Amino acid sequence: VIGVLSSIVIQFTLQDLHTWIGLFLWPLFRVASFFAVAPIFGESAVPVPVKVGCSVVIRLAFTPMIGPIPPIPPYSFAALGTIAEQVLIGLALGLTTKLVFAAVQVAGEFTGLQMGLSFASFFDPFSGVNPSVMVRLMNAFAICLFVSVNGPLPVVSGLVGTFDLI
């Protein structure tokens, strides 16, 4: 038994290590930057460990769906370019999603202005601004509607789909 166990040697090269790091780390930058600015998770009320935890869980969930990733040494200039590329793609996706909620907030501001409720405002510690009552009401309604129609599922599947497209 000892002879059999001593003949089993696990060998891996630096190339294998770069592949494993890239397989986990490069897509994680895209997902984490998406969750940093996404409409619901990007709020300042959500703690950073929750955002990082959700990013890691989502990243691990769609590991089988990602195609081959070229091994890039993590200490090279190519790695910096890859990190910048992944972060920019994640930010673009998150800001595009947030744009829909910004349109709802602008509609709430116009509605509050027309109704004469533009002076009725609260201090919002999450965004640091003073939105009117209608902005808060329409934003809460939009978030509830987004979650109730299962909106996060197509958004996350779109995020996963970017790995095939880009």
Residues 63-93 have pLDDT tens digits of 888 877 777 888 889 999 999 999 999 999 9
CA angle, 7 then 12 then 18, to 5°: 170
Integer Cα distance of 83 and 132 in angstroms: 39
pLDDT reported for residue 121: 66
- Dmax over CA atoms of the chain, in Å, equals 86
pLDDT per residue as tens digits for the range 104-163 = 989 988 888 888 776 666 666 666 667 778 888 898 999 999 999 999 899 988 998 888
Whole-structure pTM value: 0.80
